[in-house]
Chain A
Amino acid sequence: MAARYIVGIDLGTTNSALARCDAADAEEESRIEVRSIPQLVNPSEVAEPTLLPSFLYIPGEFDFPKGSLALPWEPEPKLVIGELARKRGAESPNRLVASAKSWLSYAAVNRTAPILPWQAPEEVPKLSPVEASSQFLKYLRTVWDSGEVRGQRGLALAEQDVLLTVPASFDEEARELTRRAAEQAGFPHVTLLEEPLAAFYAWLASEGDTWRRRIKVGDLVLVCDVGGGTTDFSLIMVSEENGELTLKRVAVGDHILLGGDNMDLALARVLQQRLEASGNRVDTWQLHSLWHQCRNAKEKLFESPKTQNRPITLLGKGTKLVGGTIKTELTREDLDQVLVEGFFPKIASGELPARQRRVGFQELGLPYAADPAITKHLARFLSEQVRNSPEAAAIRRGSSGLACPTHILFNGGVMKAALLRNRVVGVMNSWLRQEGFGALGEEQILEARDLEHAVARGAVYYGKARRGRGVRIRSGASRTYYLGIESAMPAVPGMEAPLKALCVVPFGMEEGTETAIPDREFGLVVGEPAEFRFLSSSVRKQDQVGSLLEDWGADLEELSPLEVTLKLDGQQGTVVPVRLESRVTELGTLEIWCVSRDGSHRWNLELNIREKTGR
């Protein structure tokens, strides 16, 4: 039965959202609506905001009064998800799982083992990052299924056309884990869509047909997405095919763990130091209140450019409310120095971010970006990432090789502040002028509306576009993927045989296409598991299928290995020669197949996701 709804789910690091539209609606403009998500906001209190904070709290015996966690569909839930989880987690962090999505892309830990909450005491039952993500999806599914569609056939969320967004910088492992989380949550098929693309689709949806007047052939759109926990960059090129304007995603940045939360915390720390310097003690609970108030004061200062400062009052803890009150203020100068200069400094396009430290990951937890300057990460993206793109000739570049966008689309909660957007545009313009291009004016800044739900709405638009009712951006594989082939050299004791990398999936390989890897055959033994080393590169973008690399420096990263066990009745132990084929499905999944020489049998290589050690 065809799905009744197209549903877009934005599983964000800090907040998640869900949007939908009627699949049967023939218009290109059919209404995309954002759904409200009932959740506990206080014990015994359910509200229905449109965002679900991506926080999960594992209640112990004493956390909440009996019966105060009841939801309309579940009288005694074992986990608390949403606003109440976030609130309670601030008071009692041992049982809080936050930023599960960032853990999903962190290869140095075992992402399928129960490790969250990170470093929590023994008695707290733990979840893996995959399970935590699947709990959020399961929650959305339960909310949907027990809402107005309850009981009606064919309307359960798992039966709809579901699109789930992931950061463009997620590699195949992180995407595979996201798929597994969806499967565990009861979704048999989800399509993955990259978030910057979803943001662009949301812009297309709000522009309607007039988008063709805003951008033309040869234009290059930079999508700059700075959310609560992550920063993601993408470039979309506008070209022409058969007389029609087409859009193609030509570059993807690295996954940078840097976002609004870092900024708020930086402000709070500065104020905390100032208070302690003048003799006040700020304990952890008050720091939290300071963090929260800084965020509010920051937003107020952004909203009214004439205001010079906002008072911040930390009420005394306990019943000595007034007696313990500490007063301070957030000034515009603080905002400028800490946020604007600290996170968006004016720099030359050649300045690169500080190198990521690789020491002591286990103690630090997530690998937050070493350099908080987002403009430096942007500079690096525009120069290094794009340098090797297959479309290199077509992308507008300056004399130094820097990619020069013609438009910018902002996304993410942080970019709601006009001051920060203007700063990014200002820095970009200084680079453009240096490279010999004109500055970007207001026309070139694509206005996104409703930044908090844009990604979810954009995902729905893409779902419609797939069915022919809207414009599609061609994207394809976001990285180049390789198999590791050990070269046939005599074994030297104590030395690893040198590895060569065989390109099996070129950057940009489109969804719905497949290709055979020529000139190579492997002999695999039936019934015995065979392992292939698997590598990816976000920098090399021009390698073709079948090309073999010998020296790649730091350009390639090794992922978990691919495994396959050939199954052939009655031929246990025989060697079967196979060729390789790679495929990118319509759902955005990467598949690598072993095909027997005569083409009669095929076996799928599976990603055996493991923890990386010794890095």
Chain B
Amino acid sequence: MNGFWKRVAFAFRSFFSILFHADIPEDIAQKGVKATVPFPQVSAAKEPSGLRLKEDARPGSEAAGRAVQILALLQRDGRLVDFLAEDISVYSDGQLGAAVRTIHETCRQVLDHYVKLEPILNSEENQPVTVQAGFDPAAIKLIGNVAGEPPVRGMLRHKGWRVKEVNLPPLPQAAGRMVVAPAEVELS
């Protein structure tokens, strides 16, 4: 630490802070921490190029609007965003379960209505399947002992999901496109 008066100042600040706020001041706390071994500093993560806003993903654009729209529909009819944004660590499984059942049902209906899904490989999971030659690696992922030329046989571990039909309503005007759910104000 440093000079005498600085120490006095810190001492008084800490005293009053503990007395009235039950904690030492933030900056003093920061300075004092030496206990942990610093983690090897990962250089500030380079932003993956996808995060940088491309031309067509600017707020208000069609692409951004559609992304927001899916969230908005799941929120409007299923309250999914409220659920995901809430801190659920404080709730018991029982309490959580009841709410989740409702959200599950309503969000399913949203998907059914607006973005119909279908499995990519329509067989039972954990049963053998054959993957034909010329398959699209974006649609079918091979894992495990990946060797040899297709057709290959293996066990289906996940059916995959693909969107069959998109039935989205028209987007609102540019100004409203970033709204997931309007704030609600009740008048009496």
As a 0/1 sequence over residues 16 to 44 of chain A, the CB contacts with chain B under 8 angstroms (1 = contact) are: 00000000000000000000000000111
**A313–B99 CB distance below 8 A:** yes
Q: Does A320 belong to the interface (CB within 8 Å)?
A: yes
Query: Does B169 lie within 8 Å of A322, measured CB to CB?
Result: no
- CB pair A42–B169 under 8 Å, yes or no, is yes
Contact partners of A323 in chain B: CB under 8 A: 86, 90-91
Fill in one digit per residue for A55-95: 1 if any B CB lies within 8 Å of its CB, else 0.
00000000001111000000000000000000000000000
Interface residues of B in 76-121 (CB under 8 A from A): 76, 79, 82-83, 85-86, 88, 90-91, 95-96, 98-99, 101-103
Q: Jot down 8 A-B pairs with beta carbons below 8 A, ordered by A.
A: A44-B170, A65-B176, A313-B102, A320-B86, A321-B79, A321-B86, A323-B91, A325-B98
**How far in angstroms is the closest Cβ of chain B from A227?**
26
- B99 / chain A contacts, CB cutoff of 8 Å: 313, 315, 321-322, 325
A278-336 CB contacts (< 8 Å) to partner B: 285, 311, 313, 315, 318-323, 325, 327
Q: Is the CB of B98 within 8 A of A327?
A: yes
Q: How far is the CB of B26 from chain A (nearest CB, A)?
A: 27
> How many angstroms between the C-alpha atoms of A46 and B176 in the bound complex?
19
Question: With an 8 A cutoff between CB atoms, is B172 at the interface?
Answer: yes
- By a CB distance below 8 angstroms, the chain B residues around A45 are 169
* Cα(A45)–Cα(B91), bound, Å: 36
Is residue B36 contacting chain A, with contact meaning CB distance below 8 A? Answer: no
Q: How far is the CA of A318 from the CA of B171 in the complex (A)?
A: 25
- Interface presence of B145 (CB below 8 A): no
Knowing A65-B172, A313-B101 touch, does A322 contact B79 (C-beta < 8 A)?
A: no
B residues less than 8 Å from A68 (CB atoms) = 172
Cα-based distance from A321 to B87 in the complex (angstroms): 10
Nearest residue (CB) in B for A317 is: B184
Contact between A319 and B85, CB atoms less than 8 A apart = yes
Encode contact with A along B133-174: 1 for CB under 8 Å, 0 otherwise.
000000000000000000000000000000000000111110
Judging by beta carbons under 8 Å apart, are A322 and B86 in contact? yes
Given contacts A321-B86, A322-B83, A322-B95, contact A311 B173 (CB under 8 A): no
Note all chain A residues with C-beta closer than 8 A to B96: 322
- Contact call A44/B169, Cβ cutoff below 8 A: yes
* Alpha-carbon distance between A487 and B103 when the two chains are bound, in angstroms: 72
Q: Given the complex of chains A and B, what is the CA–CA distance between A66 and B170 in angstroms?
A: 13
A321 (CB) vs chain B CBs: closest residue: B82
Which residues from B are CB-within-8-Å of A325?
95, 98-99
Taken together as a complex, chains A and B put the C-alpha atoms of A320 and B99 apart, in Å, by: 11
Which residues of chain B come closer than 8 Å to A315, judged between CB atoms? 79, 82, 99, 102-103
In whole angstroms, how far apart are the Cα atoms of A68 and B170 in the complex?
Answer: 9
Total of A-B residue pairs, C-beta within 8 Å: 54
The A98-118 residues at the B interface (CB cut-off 8 A) are none
Specify the chain A residue showing the minimal Cβ separation from B114: A45
Quick check: A44 and B172 within 8 Å, CB to CB? Answer: yes
Contact partners of A44 in chain B: CB under 8 A: 169-172
Q: How many residues of A contact B (CB 8 A)?
A: 21
B-to-A contact residues, CB < 8 Å: 76, 79, 82-83, 85-86, 88, 90-91, 95-96, 98-99, 101-103, 169-173, 176, 184, 186
Beyond A313-B101, A327-B98, 18 additional pairs, beta carbon < 8 A:
A44-B169, A44-B170, A44-B171, A46-B169, A65-B173, A67-B173, A68-B172, A285-B186, A313-B98, A315-B99, A318-B184, A319-B85, A321-B79, A321-B86, A321-B99, A322-B88, A322-B95, A325-B99
**A318 contacts across to B, CB distance below 8 A:** 82, 184
With a cutoff of 8 Å between Cβ atoms, the chain A residues found around residue B176 in the complex are: 65
Report the bound CA distance from A322 to B85 in whole Å: 11
A319 and B82 in contact (CB under 8 A), knowing A311-B98, A313-B102? Answer: yes
Q: Which residues of B contact A66 (CB under 8 A)?
A: 173
Q: Report which of A43, A311, A313, A321 forms a contact with B83, defined as CB distance below 8 A.
A: A321
- Which of A65, A285, A311 is close to B101, meaning CB atoms less than 8 Å apart? A311
Query: How far, in angstroms, from A7 to B66 measured CA to CA in the complex?
Result: 41
* Interface pair A322/B172, CB less than 8 Å apart: no
Among all A-B residue pairs, the 7 with the closest Cβ atoms: A45-B169, A321-B82, A325-B99, A313-B102, A322-B99, A327-B98, A313-B98
Q: Once bound together, how far apart are the Cα atoms of A159 and B42, in whole Å? A: 78
Report the minimal beta-carbon distance from B112 to chain A, rounded to whole angstroms: 13
Verify A319–B172 contact, CB threshold 8 A. no
Which residues of the other chain, A, contact B79 by a CB distance below 8 angstroms? 315, 321
Complex Cα–Cα for A315 and B169 (A): 26
Closest to A324 in B: B99
One of A46, A322, A327 near B91 (C-beta < 8 A)? A322
A36 to chain B minimum Cβ distance, whole angstroms, is: 16
User: How many angstroms from the CA of A313 to the CA of B79 in the assembled complex?
Assistant: 13
Among A45, A65, A318, A321, which residue has the most Cβ atoms of chain B within 10 A?
A321
B98 → chain A closest CB, angstroms? 5
- Determine the residue in chain A with the shortest Cβ distance to B69: A44
CB under 8 Å from chain B, chain A span 380-425: none
Bound: A42/B176 CA distance, A: 15
* 1/0 contact string of A135-173 vs chain B (CB within 8 Å): 000000000000000000000000000000000000000
Give the shortest distance, in Å, between B89 (CB) and chain A (any CB). Answer: 11
Chain A hits for B91, CB < 8 A:
322-323
A68 to chain B, nearest CB (A): 6
Q: How far is the CA of A318 from the CA of B184 in the complex (A)?
A: 8
Residue of B nearest to A284 (CB): B186
Specify the chain B residue showing the minimal Cβ separation from A325: B99
Complexed CA–CA distance, A319 and B75 (Å): 11
Q: Are B86 and A319 in contact (CB-based, < 8 A)?
A: yes
Shortest B87–chain A CB gap in Å is 9
Could you say which of B99, B170, B172 has the most chain A C-beta atoms within 10 Å of its C-beta?
A: B99
> What B residues does A320 contact at CB under 8 A?
86
